[in-house]
Structures are given as C-alpha cells and as structure tokens.
Chains A and B, each alone.
Chain A
C-alpha cells in the first residue's frame, strides 16, 4: 500500500536526519565516529563528549519537540474545529512563557543559584508552571470559543490572550535583573540545545506520557470532527474529551515550551502537511503521522539552524517560521476560505 510505503520512508528519513543532526554542527564529526561514540567504541575523547552530552540530547529533543508540538497543534485544530489553531497562535506558548517567567523570577527571589537536587526540583517546578500557564490560557480561550460561533473570532481572542500574557511577562521583566532578562530573551528564540541530560530526565518521560495519552483519543477526535452533537450521539462525553484534550495539549506544549522556548509554526503547519501527504482526516493515521512528520521537520530545521561548518547558530524560530508560514499561506490560498482547510 502507498501509505505503508510513506510511513516506512518517513521512519527511514527520520533516522537519517537524526544521525545527520549529530554529524553536522560547528565541528563536523565523521559518521563512523558518531556511531562509535554512541556505541561507546573507540573515538576522540572530545568528539565522544560532544556527541554524547550535546548532540544526542539535542537531536532527541528535536524529535520529542517536533512530535509533541505537532500533536498539540493537531489536538487544538480538532478541539476548536479551526484549521489555524496551534500553540503559537492561540497564546498557549505565551501562557507557558508566563509560567516560566513567573517561576524563574520567583525562584530567583527565593533561592540562591540552584545546584544538584535543587536543579532537579527546579526542572519539575519549571514544567509545572509552564503547564499551568498554558492550561490557564487554553481554558480561557475554550470558554470564549463556546460563546463564539466563527473561527476567526476565536483566533483573535487567542491572539489577545497572547498579548495579555505577553505584557504581563514584560512587566515582570521590568522588575527583574538584567541577567535574567538576557536569559529569558535567549529562551524566547527557541533552541533545542538547552536540554542537557538533567533536563532530559524530566522532559522525556512527561512528553512521552503526553504522546501516548494523545493516542487514546483517536475515536473521540474523529467523532468531534462531525460536530459535538454527532459526537455525543456515538457515545462521546463531549465535555470530558474537551478537558482531556486541554490537559494533554497543555502537558505537551507547556513542557516543551519550558525547555526549548516557544517553537513557532510547527504546531499549525505539520498537521496540515500530514493531512496533505496522507490524504485523510482519520486521527488513527493523523496522530502518529503528525508525530513522525513533526520530528522530521524539526530535525531538519535544527540542522539548518546550526549552519553546518560555521560557529554561529541561528534561532530555530526563524527557520521554523520560514518553513511554516508559507505552508499556512498556501493552505489558506488553496481553500480560498478557512472553513474548508480541514480537507
């Protein structure tokens, strides 16, 4: 079957990009040495250190983030029945930023520089605040959307919530010291490189749990596409699934945003690209499909942002936007209007 071939091709290219992401960078490391470093074989000590402690967690982060943000976007598009919904559009990333800002600034007030056990606790605190921040915004947007009938209004409301949280973050910045602001600004550019093994130990299980959880909602999400009455008619508890989708989206988008910064456009563009490639709206195929496509695309964006052979690194957001924005423009132009864009 054509689709099986596509999936196989997808897995192969993901694996190839995963290796390539570890080969390329400011220092190019030959593929045999990357392989040797991964297997614990014989290679240069410095290369081994770079591969195991920088490039491997970075590539893994790109996969988790690509898969997670894409699924979060897909869930929001189905939840809001809105083809342009996504973590960066509806203010969910902003909500996570607010959580992160509050946590970072608050912990700077109460703790001395964190080390060891504190660092571990700090990571969990970061995640929890980011999740709570995203959930707060997502719930508010959902409540507003229940009173609004057209999708444009919902997007605008989401955008406004984004501005509100954004301005609160700016106000918080005004009262904090310059070094923290510098860190915060760098964080907002988005980067896969900020996740070391200590962070990975926290991020990977949470994101994996979110991804597995998202696979449980295929039925309900398909039914929701027919409208809430049809969904209720086939035994879906509509308010419960709405809540479940909000929680899952917040866990995925919140956690990932906390560690990689807000990654723009992946959440909107990848589900559309997947629909286009696999020619279906069936979530049984779309959910795993979006994970795979998202991982592939974010790995590619990460490789490009490293500017192979150069010392400088571009912010990953500029690359994802360069890729994502044209996809979205294309989708809107193709369908002439937004309502049809689920096709």
Chain B
C-alpha cells in the first residue's frame, strides 16, 4: 500500500470507513487553584478516514484546548483518546508521531532552513539519529511538496516564502509524516482569500485522495460549510454538536452558536449578514447587476429598499453611469454610487436639522 499516492487509489475508499480518532468520556479544561475549570465534558467524538472535519466556534469556547488535548499536548481532565484503537497516552513519542501530525499556529523563526529541510523534519519519526534520509524518504518528501503545489520550491529558503506558502510547507511536513490523522490549528488564519481557498482545496483533495482523516479548527464559516464533510460546533456551556454542515444549518445550530446582536445568519445563503442601523426606506427602480449592487450599497448604508412609488425618496438607475435621485419635487443626477450615498446622507442631514 502506498498511502501517499492518490493516483494509485483506483476507487474511493471512503465507504470502507473506520474510526481513526475516538474519544471516550473526554473532559477538557484547566486545573486551577480552585479546582478544575471544565470547558467541555463527556466528549465521545469520532473522525473516520477520508473525512475532513472542521471545528468551529466563537473565540474562547475552547477550540484550541480541544485541539491540544486531542493532540496530546495538553492533559485531559478525564477520559481517553484512542488513535487507531491505541490509547494516545500510552504511546512512546516516536510511535505517537507516526499516528498524528500537527500544523500549528506557532511562528517559525529559523530562517536558514530550506523548504526541503522543513519537510524532511516530518520524516524524523522514521529515520535514525544521524538524520540520514533514505531514497524512500526523499521520494515521500518530493510527493508531499507536489501535493501542496510547491514541487519547484524545494531548495528555496523557508524565510523567503509568503505566509500562504509557509503554511503549505507545514502541510507538506505533516504529509511527509505520513500519519492517518492530520490536525491543523487555524490553518487559514492570517491568509488572504485566494490563499484561504487554496489551503481548503488542498486539504479537501488530500482527504479524498489519501484517505487520511483531517481535523482543522477555523473561523472560516463560509469555507467550512463548502468543504467540510462534518462540522464540530462548539459553544461555551453547551455540548459540542456535530453533523453534516447542511444539517447543522437546517436545525438552527449555527444561528444558536453565533447568535449575536450585530449579525444575522442567513439560512438561504449560509452567510452572516451585518445588521445595520435603519435610516428609513428608499424606492429603487432599475434592473440587472447595477440594480443588485446599488441595492447592496443602500442596504449597507441602512436604507430599506422598496419597489413601489410614493416614497419620500426614490432612486432610479437611468444608465450605466447615472443614478437619478428624487425627493420632494427636487431632482438630481449622480455619476457614481459614492456620490449617490453622499447625496442621500446630505438629505438625511437636512431632514434631522429641520426636525430640530
């Protein structure tokens, strides 16, 4: 079996699913002077092979603690974690490192490592004290770099890379470690949108092609909803809910966890909408894409949109560069959305002044 070579897997193994990670009655939290501080308890969770699981929750809900506890970097308050049926605690370090690989948020300062040097560290659980890489190790390192699309970077210095590329190198390191479970702590943090999408795509492909179990914590609801096979939803004071992303949307679990005065969770799009202060309604006439974006701009500024007539203020899209604004017999043309919004703010200003 060559677990790293996606191409050699002729059919999807995912129906042969077996649990890679299993926790039994796990309690996570901290020991403090006043006794244990419990973040979550009685956790019985599983991840199967070929599965991409996203751990989501507001800041401070214990995501990192859960990740660290599962990874064995922090002691659980109670309970056991099993990796491939083996008790995590009982494993000697080199055996542990052959079962779980980590991608962390820790900043790496060591600058004079080449990309290959860093990925080679993933092979350390398998090689001797003198760090002698065998041809097989080199092959795995090359393939790992290929999988994160960095095959031509192998001799570049790690410090010269962009944040997104560095993150991909660390994923390649985890791949070179060739473990059934890969855990990533906020792998998309500090990255721009194209890089965030790329990382999630790479991880999704890895789960499918290598049949590994991948667990990652993230703040990217959008991306998680679009890519995860399963989502673990965490909230302080309530038990973790898990399920397919769509199920969690339909049951209202998402709204519950992220309910907040400033946001609305839009079930139809699966995105959050910012709640704006309301400024009154505007009639908007027009069609097509200009209409959509004008509407967004007005909504962003706090106006309610209606299509009927008889409103105090009405806006008509006359051409590609012309917005006609009418208010109380007075009429004017604006050349851009910015001008239109400025005009509306002006009208509001006089209105409130008159009212005073």
Residue from the set B98, B101, B104, B117 with the largest chain A CB neighbour count within 10 Å: B117
> Which partner residue on chain A sits nearest B123 by CB separation?
A234
> Which partner residue on chain A sits nearest B129 by CB separation?
A216
In the assembled complex, B110 has its CB within 8 A of some CB on chain A:
yes
**In contact, B110 and A225 (Cβ under 8 angstroms):** yes
Q: Which of A227, A235, A275, A340 lies in contact with B106, CB distance below 8 A?
A: A227
Q: Which of B101, B106, B129, B131 lies in contact with A229, CB distance below 8 A?
A: B106
Q: Beta-carbon contacts of B66-95 to A below 8 Å, as 1s and 0s?
A: 000001010000000000000000000111
How distant is the Cα of A85 from the Cα of B320 in the complex, in angstroms?
66
In the assembled complex, A281 has its CB within 8 A of some CB on chain B:
yes
In the assembled complex, A12 has its CB within 8 A of some CB on chain B:
no
In the assembled complex, B100 has its CB within 8 A of some CB on chain A:
yes
**In contact, B93 and A235 (Cβ under 8 angstroms):** yes
| Chain A residues bordering chain B, tally (CB within 8 A) | 29
State which residues 229-286 of A face B: CB under 8 Å: 229-230, 232-237, 275, 279-284
In the assembled complex, B121 has its CB within 8 A of some CB on chain A:
yes
**In contact, A234 and B127 (Cβ under 8 angstroms):** no
Q: Is the contact region of chain A dominated by helix, strand, or loop, or is it mixed?
A: helix
Q: Hey, which chain A residues are within 8 Å of B159, CB to CB? A: 343
Report the minimal beta-carbon distance from B276 to chain A, rounded to whole angstroms: 42
Q: Hey, which chain B residues are within 8 Å of A235, CB to CB? A: 93-98, 124-125
How distant is the Cα of A218 from the Cα of B93 in the complex, in angstroms?
17
In the assembled complex, B187 has its CB within 8 A of some CB on chain A:
no
Q: Hey, which chain B residues are within 8 Å of A340, CB to CB? A: 109, 111
Q: Hey, which chain A residues are within 8 Å of B131, CB to CB? A: 218-219, 222, 283-284
State which residues 96-145 of B face A: CB under 8 Å: 96-98, 100-102, 104, 106-114, 117-118, 121-122, 124-125, 127, 129-131
Q: Hey, which chain A residues are within 8 Å of B112, CB to CB? A: 275, 279-281, 342-343
How distant is the Cα of A234 from the Cα of B73 in the complex, in angstroms?
12
How distant is the Cα of A283 from the Cα of B130 in the complex, in angstroms?
10
Q: Which of A216, A226, A279 lies in contact with B121, CB distance below 8 A?
A: A226
How distant is the Cα of A170 from the Cα of B122 in the complex, in angstroms?
50
In the assembled complex, B177 has its CB within 8 A of some CB on chain A:
yes
Given A218-B129, A222-B131, verify A280-B101 contact (CB < 8 Å).
Answer: no
Q: Which of B107, B109, B117, B122 lies in contact with A280, CB distance below 8 A?
A: B117
Q: Hey, which chain B residues are within 8 Å of A215, CB to CB? A: 130
How distant is the Cα of A230 from the Cα of B105 in the complex, in angstroms?
10
How distant is the Cα of A235 from the Cα of B111 in the complex, in angstroms?
22
**In contact, A281 and B94 (Cβ under 8 angstroms):** no
How distant is the Cα of A225 from the Cα of B106 in the complex, in angstroms?
11
Given A225-B110, A229-B73, A342-B111, verify A281-B124 contact (CB < 8 Å).
Answer: no
Report the minimal beta-carbon distance from A199 to chain B, rounded to whole angstroms: 31
Given A281-B111, A342-B109, verify A237-B93 contact (CB < 8 Å).
Answer: yes
Q: Hey, which chain A residues are within 8 Å of B106, CB to CB? A: 226-227, 229-230
Q: Hey, which chain A residues are within 8 Å of B117, CB to CB? A: 222, 280-282
Q: Beta-carbon contacts of B293-316 to A below 8 Å, as 1s and 0s?
A: 000000000000000000000000
> Which partner residue on chain A sits nearest B110 by CB separation?
A225
**In contact, B94 and A280 (Cβ under 8 angstroms):** no
Report the minimal beta-carbon distance from A274 to chain B, rounded to whole angstroms: 10
In the assembled complex, A223 has its CB within 8 A of some CB on chain B:
yes
Q: Beta-carbon contacts of A277-321 to B below 8 Å, as 1s and 0s?
A: 001111110000000000000000000000000000000000000
Report the minimal beta-carbon distance from A259 to chain B, rounded to whole angstroms: 29
Q: Hey, which chain A residues are within 8 Å of B127, CB to CB? A: 219
**Given pairs A81-B109, A232-B73, A280-B112, 7 additional interface contacts (CB within 8 A):** A218-B130, A225-B109, A229-B73, A280-B113, A282-B113, A282-B117, A343-B111
Residues of A within 8 A of B (CB): 81, 215-216, 218-219, 222-223, 225-227, 229-230, 232-237, 275, 279-284, 339-340, 342-343
| 5 nearest A-B residue pairs (beta carbon) | A343-B111, A235-B97, A225-B110, A281-B112, A233-B102
- Name 13 interchain pairs, CB-CB below 8 A, sorted by A: A218-B131, A222-B113, A222-B131, A225-B109, A229-B102, A233-B97, A234-B101, A234-B121, A234-B125, A280-B114, A280-B117, A284-B131, A343-B159
